[in-house]
Amino acid sequence: MKLKLVCKPYYFIMNESLIGGHVSVAGGIMNAFENGVAIGANFIQIFTGSPRVWKSSIISDEEASQFRAELENGGSGVKGLVTHASYLVNMASTDPELLRKSVEVLSDNARSASKIGARGVVVHLGSHKGAGLSSRMQILREALMRVLDSFDGSCRILLENTAGAGGSIGTTFEELAWVIESLDGDERLGVCLDTQHLFASGVAYATIVEADDVVGRLASTLGIKRLGCIHFNDSKVPLGALKDRHENLGEGFIGAEALGNLVSHPLLRGIPLILETPGRGTGPTTLDVSTAREILRSGIERRATI
């Protein structure tokens, strides 16, 4: 079903846009603000610990207090953030030790995100290793419940859709909805939509009609209120390749127009757009954030002519 455009003054639509990228916290978590400002971001994503090791230190109360004060002060221009969990997590593992470590590190990530005032912690749920999600659902459900019970719940666990490789969990909206429903629709669970993973999983949105269909399915299966952020990436691989390979916006197989068709949808206005693009080798740059804003603007203008 095609959703009717909700008309708003153009300047108002752009002013409410939250666009930024994943930034480094090397040298201390407070550097996230400076690094965000350096690329023109008003919303950021960070790691609160190394994403490739199991050890995850909890941010100290002093660090957290200083970070929250800067965030609430708003002087940096950064209006909010999410964090990203460790890449090692597999919440559906049948290996007891791997599952224990996964629960512990995601719990630590969630506590740190909560302490610094993040809106959510994004997580890749892991893989069922080809056994099928139904065979691992009980393990996954119990593991997620342990994480949800481990912190104050002031931020959400944002389940990210995947590109579909290796039995990864959450390739479709329906799989993510199934996971959430298994926990009785717990409001502490949300979703992160990755544009590259969506495309690589075989979902096209080259036209506004296709983009509207995607958003309609998202709304009907998960609900827009579950959507905490959008990872805004182009793709190094073609449609349906089932590989997680990010490219700079407008330089990949998705293209600027298709990306604009999707994120300009009225139901997605105000959802933070976070670049995880390679930039010139060290992540998103000022040019990349500026390109993101231009893609969104162009998409809005195309919709206004319909």
Residue 8 included in any domain: no
Residue 9 included in any domain: no
Tell me the three state secondary structure of residue 48: coil
Q: CB under 8 Å to 14, separation ≥6 — which residues?
A: 293, 296, 297, 300
Q: How confident is the model at residue 16 (pLDDT cuts 50, 70, 90)?
A: low
Is 209 a residue whose pLDDT tops 90? yes
Is 8 a residue whose pLDDT tops 80? no
Say how far residue 8 (Cα) sits from the centre of its chain: 26
Give the CA angle between residues 147, 155, 116 to the nearest 5°. Answer: 105
Q: Which domain holds residue 284?
A: 18-304
* Domain of residue 89, CATH code: 3.20.20.150
Report d(CA 107, CA 101) in Å as an integer: 10
Residue 221 included in any domain: yes
pLDDT digits (tens, 9 = 90+) for 72-97: 998 899 999 999 999 999 999 999 99
pLDDT digits (tens, 9 = 90+) for 236-274: 999 999 999 999 999 999 999 999 999 999 999 999 999
Q: DSSP secondary structure string, 162-214?
A: ---GGGBTTSSHHHHHHHHHHTTT-TTEEEEEEHHHHHHTT---SSHHHHHHH
Q: How confident is the model at residue 10 (pLDDT cuts 50, 70, 90)?
A: very low
239 φ, ψ (degrees, to nearest 5): -50, 130
What is the pLDDT at residue 5?
33
Residue 75 included in any domain: yes
The total domain count for the chain is: 1
Residue 277 included in any domain: yes
Contact 303, 10 (CB under 8 A): no
Residue 96 included in any domain: yes
Residue 225 included in any domain: yes
Residue 85 included in any domain: yes
